[in-house]
Structure 1
Amino acid sequence: MPLHQIILCTFLACTLLLLGVHRQLTRESREISQRLEKISARTSRQRIKKHPGHEDPPVRWRQALAHLAPIFARFSISQRLEDQLTKADIPLRGEEFLIQVLLAGFCGFFLIFLLTMQPALALASGIAGLFVPFLLLKIARQKRLSKLNNQIGDALVIMANSLRSGFSFLQAMEMVRRELPDPISKEFGRTFQEINLGSQVEDALINMTERVQSEDLDLVVTAVLIQRQVGGNLAEVLDNIAETIRERVRIKGQIRSITAQGRISGLVISLLPVGLAGMMLVVNPEYIMILFNSKAGISMLAGAVVSEIVGILAIRKIVDIEV
């Protein structure tokens, strides 16, 4: 192992050891101080605020990012990122997320450069670190959207039964907000608050569809808007839409089961070269560094990356079946 790696590992090990010993030695004093702070607090809100174990970690992160956020708030990409964060239900502003993206890229570059002392490999890791937050954001948005789509059928059944019981449309929305969990409860709650604050029902429903970007929810809102203009039995309309949405969810589940092998194949094909390169970099770095130090190796890497992208896109096109 090179000398700089030994020094880095030794420094990290000593730092973690000292932190562990200090935490163990001061455990009793911390517990006593926490109990005294809880007893001395006048209200339950002050107790929660003073007690370190109940402090909200995202608040501390946002306070640390607040100093740099105004610099990035001027860019137009901050507003677009904020829209995506809202759709994924991530409590961050666009400029705060952009700062975290830059930090991820810098950390990826710095750590890999310390471990390998290879600028090209560190630069590639830094670029990859820039894309990781966007990938996680997309995964969070798709996960939330899938969960919301699975709840729309139950929400329509609750609304239809509420309308048959004599409730108004707004009371039916309030029933969905109270009975169902997030994320559909939060979205209906936001819409209900907009209406209470003076917005038109049609405008609030359109805002919800733009915020969620769900085809099933678009179908529901379109039916409700048409019914409010031409009249009709809204409960029966919601029942028919709920049946259609449940069938779509069932068919999507069957398609997902049938195409599972193809999706796993795409995942293996995309991760196998990266994993093999990482293993070779650890086991025998001189052997694999030829690819990065010669023109022929760089050309082969470029061809491999292009082939990987083409293969992934082809597999995704095959297994992506619209319903």
Structure 2
Amino acid sequence: MDALLDAEFGIYLAVFLAVVLLVEGIFLFYRDIVGPRQRVSRRMELLSQGASNAEIMESLRRQMPDNTNALLPSLMEFVETRMTQAGMRMRSATMATIMMVTTLTVGIIFPIIGGISGQLTSPLAFILVIVFAIAIGVVLPMSYINIQAVKRMRLFEKQFPIGLDIFVRGLRAGYPVPSALELLVSEVPDPLSSEFGLVLAEMNYGYNLRDALSNLADRVRTQDMQMFVVSVAIQSETGGSLADILEGLSRVIRDRAQMVLKVNALASEGKMTGTLLTALPLLTFAFMFATQPRFYLDVIDDPWFLPGVVGMAVMYFLGVFIMRKLITIKV
């Protein structure tokens, strides 16, 4: 008996050590190989491969489709903006198609796999399945895109004052604007490097500085970038030292960033509470419906089910609206 327990303990210990070594190996692989590759500027990598300016623009720049003829133009424009900020090169129409196909697939296959197709005998049951399918096919991808966009834009805003300082030092050293931008691109990692690398590629392709920076502001859409573009536009119209203007702008951006960090620290508890209270009801519904769909379907024909759901939805969205108003502090 003791020998059997010792053998079982040895097996568990071996499995535990194997898992630990596997996790450590994945971490070391990401840290030493994948991480440095991701930090290398995409533009510098293309230049090392001998790519031309047109090829660099084609690789770095997303194709911006015309969404005016789309079924929901404002929604497609929002998806396009968030995908651009997330650094995704996929077209918004392709993403919308993928989300639609995923939603239809979940809506058709889930009742069959879950064994609840026989209970879909009322319109409310179909609506419940549709809501679940939309949550899986639309809400989850959009949440991922939004998280990636916020993460990338925060990193961009963190790198932006450093990039401005490098750009100013290049101008004070006597470099022309394209050479100072080239210095910025070579010294700063992504995403700032790739975005300004695209500005440089557009200038080499024939754009003037104002148009190239305006395109950058349209892609990024941050307040710091808007101030930068306006400063460059005013300097090009009125003259003066661009280095002095951008040096002052860099100080303003750093002071504003410090104030934002203080405000975020003070409001962090409220934001975390709001995030949890917003996400938990949706996650609970998705989990319960995916694992125990009869929890809802067995009572869906009750006359109080629909009024209860409508009232709960109204209170949920009202609560989310109030929480966002309470924790959103503009600086």
Both proteins in one fold, TM over 0.5: yes
**Aligned match for 1:150, one of 149, 155, 158:** 158
Structure 2's unaligned 5+ residue stretches are: 1-66
- SS state of the match for residue 295, structure 1? coil
Partner of 2:37: none
- SS state of the match for residue 163, structure 1? helix
8 Å contact 1:277–1:288 — kept in the other structure? Answer: no
Where do 1:296-307 residues align within 5 Å? 296-307=304-315
8 Å contact 2:168–2:243 — kept in the other structure? Answer: yes
- SS state of the match for residue 160, structure 2? helix
Partner of 2:110: 112
**TM-score of the superposed pair, with normalisation by structure 2:** 0.68
Q: CA RMSD in A?
A: 2.6
Q: CA deviation at 1:281?
A: 5.4
Partner of 2:99: 101
Supply the distance in 2 between the matched residues of 1:115 and 1:181 (Cα, whole angstroms): 47
One-letter code of the match for 1:215? Q
One-letter code of the match for 1:249? A
Partner of 1:122: 129
Q: CA deviation at 1:107?
A: 3.5
Structure 1's unaligned 5+ residue stretches are: 1-71
Where do 1:215-226 residues align within 5 Å? 215-226=223-234
Supply the distance in 1 between the matched residues of 2:286 and 2:177 (Cα, whole angstroms): 57
Q: CA deviation at 1:310?
A: 1.1
Q: Which ranges of 4 or more aligned residues in structure 1 deviate by more than 3 Å?
A: 72-84, 271-291
Partner of 2:185: 177
One-letter code of the match for 2:217? T
**Aligned match for 1:212, one of 216, 220, 224:** 220
Deviations 1:173-203 (A, max 9, x none): 1111111111111111111111101112211
Supply the distance in 2 between the matched residues of 1:223 and 1:179 (Cα, whole angstroms): 23
**Aligned match for 2:275, one of 267, 275, 293:** 267
One-letter code of the match for 2:239? G
**TM-score of the superposed pair, with normalisation by structure 1:** 0.70
8 Å contact 1:291–1:301 — kept in the other structure? Answer: no
Deviations 1:124-157 (A, max 9, x none): 2112222332332233222222221111110111
Supply the distance in 2 between the matched residues of 1:274 and 1:86 (Cα, whole angstroms): 27
Q: CA deviation at 1:267?
A: 2.4
8 Å contact 2:156–2:191 — kept in the other structure? Answer: yes
One-letter code of the match for 2:87? D
8 Å contact 1:112–1:125 — kept in the other structure? Answer: no
Count, aligned residues: 252
**Aligned match for 2:320, one of 288, 312, 319:** 312
Supply the distance in 2 between the matched residues of 1:136 and 1:85 (Cα, whole angstroms): 10
Percent identity over the alignment is 26
